[in-house]
Amino acid sequence: MTKNALCGCCSVQGDFAKIDQKRSGRASFESINYQESDLVFSLGVRRSREKMNRVYNFSAGPGVLPVPVLEEVAKEFPDYHGCGMSLVEMSHRGPVFSQIIRETRDLLRELLSVPETHDILFLQGGGHMQFAMVPLNLLGAAAEASYIVNGVWSKKAAAEASKFCRVSVIGTPSRAQVPHPDSINVPNDAAYLYYCMNETVNGMEFNYIPQCPDCVPLVSDVSSNFLSRTIDFRRHALVFAGAQKNFGPAGLTVVIVRKDLLGLAGETCPTMLNYQVHSEAGSMYNTPPTFAIWVANLVCKWLVSEGGVEVMDERARLRSKLIYNAIDSSDGFYTNTITPSTRSRMNVVFNLREEALTELFVKEAADAKLVNLKGHRLVGGLRASLYNALPVRAAEVLADFMADFAKRHG
Ligand code: PMP
C-alpha cells in the first residue's frame, strides 16, 4: 500500500509528513510550550533530547511500539496540536477526538482491506472479554459452537464459551499443535467455528484458514498477529484483537465483525457486551479509551508510512527466520518443538537443552539490552516476541547473542 492510497479518505497527509520528519530527525521537541516548573513534562522532554537509551524489547505484550509514535505522543501530549489541553482531557464527543476515531477506523479499513460488509468496533475488556462476547453475540438460537483448541488462549476461550453453550472441541488440548486441516469437521448447525490464529504462549500460528460450512461464521482471535499479515474477510466473519501487541497501548480491543451478525444477542445480554449497541453508537456508547485510540491512530499512520501490512509480514518472516535459524543450527543447544510450517512469526518459543541455564540466559541477555525473553509462566523456557515495531536489527542481535551464549555454555 502506498501513502497516497489513503490520503483521499482522511486528513493524514500532514501527519505522515510530521512522522516522516521525525524519522529523519528534523523535527524536535522545541515547539512544546511548557513551564520549566512542570516537572513531569520538562523531565520527559529533557530526556528525549538526550540520546534515547532504548533496549531491544521482546515483551509478549504490552509490547514494543514504534519510536516515531512514542515521540509524537510525547510532543503532542501536553498541548494537543495547539488545543491548549492534552487529548486525554478532552470530551470524547468533541470534534478533535471524533475525527481521530473516525480516521482510525478509516485507516484500519484501508490497511486490512476490510470490506463494507464488516464493521470495525473499538471496545475495552481485552481478549478475555471477547471470550464471553463472542458466544453472547453469535450463538443466536444455536446450542453448540465449535472451537479449535491448540494452545493456552483458545483453551481459555473454549472454557468461557462453555458457560453459554455446548462446546465441540477440535484438536488435542493436551498436545498443543495446529490440527491437520482434514481433521476439522464442523456441523452445519454450529453457531460458529472459533480459532486463535496465533497462540502467543505456545508460539504457533495457523498457516491455513480452517474450513467450515458456508453457513457457519468463522471467528478468530488475532490478538498477537494483528496487522502483521492480511486477513481474508470473505472467510472471516469476526476477528478481534487486544491492542497491546501490534496496535497500541493496553485498554483498547478491536472487533471487526460482519454486519449481518449484529443483532443476534439475546434479551439478557448485558448492554455493554452487545456488539450491536457499540456498532450503532460508532464505538461511543460509553467513554472510549481515548488515549489508546490516539496511539493506535498514530500506529496506523506509521504502518502506512512503512508500506503497510504486507511489509510487516515480510519483516516478521525475516525476524522470526533469524531466530529459528539460530535454534536449528545450535546442535540441540536450543530446542523448538513446533512443526516448522506452523511456527509463529510473532512469538518464538524455545528451550535450552540444559534447562538450568535459562535464568543465566535471561540475565546475560538483559545485560546485553535484550529484555523480556522469559517464557510465559505456564510453559516456562524462553520466548522472543517479534512484533511489528521491533527492528529487524533486534532479531539479528539476539541471534548473534544466542550463538555466542551457546558457544560459551555448550
Ligand atoms: N488472546 C491472545 C492470543 C493473547 O495473546 C492474549 C493475551 N496476551 C489474550 C487473548 C488475552 O488478552 P487480554 O489480556 O487483553 O484479555
29-71 pLDDT per residue, tens: 333 333 433 444 444 444 554 567 899 999 999 999 999 999 9
Give catalytic residue positions.
153, 221, 245
Closest residue to atom 12 of ligand 1, CA basis: 127
- Residue count of the chain: 410
Instruction: Give the global pTM.
Output: 0.89
Contact by Cβ (8 Å): 199, 218? no
In sequence order, what DSSP letters do the residues of 130-152 get, joined into one string? HHHHHHHHH-TT-SEEEEE--SH
Instruction: Give the nearest ligand 1 atom to 250 CA.
Output: 15
Residue 225 CB less than 6 A away from ligand 1: no
Neighbour tally for 188: CB within 10 Å: 9
367-397 pLDDT per residue, tens: 999 999 999 998 999 999 999 999 999 999 9
Residue 203 CB less than 6 A away from ligand 1: no
What's the confidence (pLDDT) of residue 51?
62
Q: Which three cell numbers stand for residue 171?
A: 484438536
As a whole number of angstroms, the distance between CA 108 and CA 303 comes to: 10
* Residue 273 DSSP one-character state: G
User: Which of 241, 277, 234, 274 shows the shortest CA–CA distance to 258?
Assistant: 234
Q: Is 15's pLDDT higher than 50?
A: no
What's the confidence (pLDDT) of residue 31?
35
Residue 205 CB less than 6 A away from ligand 1: no
Three-state SS at 303: helix
296-345 pLDDT per residue, tens: 999 999 999 999 999 999 999 999 999 999 999 999 999 999 999 999 99
Residue 196 CB less than 6 A away from ligand 1: yes
Which alpha helices (H) appear in 34-111, and where do they start and end?
Answer: 39-49, 67-76, 95-111
Per cent of the chain over pLDDT 90 is 84
